[in-house]
């Protein structure tokens, strides 16, 4: 934005008008605030944050693409490595974006900034309860097809209501949504 702002503002300006002017100036100058504006969703009027680089929702879940990923203190390679993820397909939650970097955290809240090339959009889940029964159908009385140990990483095939369909190696089945980390409550995946 070039030029000078001329004229005088009235002595009494509504706070909403001032906020709108500040946001308009920030957007015109191309700041991160422009891209991370809250937008109203059609369902219930809840606010949804969008990432400035991808336009995808924040927070959202991704997975670690490789067997090793360094999480840094800031969004470039000059920042110190705070955390090292060493498990391929580990689910991570993206909480912020800056250029080619994504701020991620694991199920314990540990993480930092990772380059986007280390992340995949493939949805995975981490089993949070030991000996979680994987069932043939999404019902608590359905036959068990496997018992999953705490810490197992599974691919999410879909989620509906209180159940998610997972694949671990060649075994497929349903687990209660409350027993895994990597999907939000109420989120529907097909």
Instruction: For residue range 92-130, list pLDDT tens digits in order.
Output: 999 999 999 999 999 999 999 999 999 999 999 999 999
* Whole-angstrom distance, CA of residue 97 vs CA of residue 100: 8
pLDDT score at 156: 98
pLDDT, position 176 = 97
Average pLDDT of the chain, as a whole number:
82
Radius of gyration for the alpha carbons in the chain, expressed in angstroms and rounded: 21
- Token pair, residue 56, equals 């995808």
Q: How large a percentage of the chain has pLDDT more than 70?
A: 75
Specify the pLDDT at position 75. 96
Q: Which DSSP symbol is given to 189?
A: B
Per-residue pLDDT of 48-86, as tens digits, reads 799 999 999 999 999 999 999 999 999 999 999 999 999
Residue environment code for 37-57, b if the CB has 16+ CB neighbours within 10 A, otherwise e = eeeeeeeeeeeebbbbbeeee
Structural domains of the chain in order of their starting residue, each with its CATH number: 57-122 (2.30.30.40), 125-181 (2.30.30.40)
- pLDDT category at 47 given cuts 50, 70, 90 is low
């Amino acid at each position: 934005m070039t030029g000078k702002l001329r004229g005088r503002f009235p002595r009494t300006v509504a706070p909403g008008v001032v906020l709108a002017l500040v946001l308009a100036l920030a957007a015109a100058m191309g700041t991160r605030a422009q891209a991370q504006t809250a937008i109203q969703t059609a369902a219930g009027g809840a606010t949804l944050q969008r990432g400035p680089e991808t336009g995808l929702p924040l927070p959202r879940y991704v997975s670690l693409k490789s067997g090793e990923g360094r999480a840094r203190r800031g969004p470039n390679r000059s920042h110190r490595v705070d955390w090292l993820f060493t498990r391929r397909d580990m689910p991570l939650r993206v909480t912020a974006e800056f250029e080619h970097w994504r701020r991620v955290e694991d199920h314990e809240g540990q993480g930092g900034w990772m380059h986007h090339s280390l992340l995949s959009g493939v949805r995975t889940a981490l089993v949070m309860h030991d000996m979680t029964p994987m069932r043939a159908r999404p019902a608590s009385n359905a036959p068990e097809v496997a018992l999953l140990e705490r810490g197992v990483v599974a691919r999410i095939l879909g989620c509906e209501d209180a159940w998610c369909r997972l694949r671990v190696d060649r075994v497929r089945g349903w687990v209660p949504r409350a027993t895994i980390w990597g999907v939000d409550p109420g989120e529907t995946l097909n």
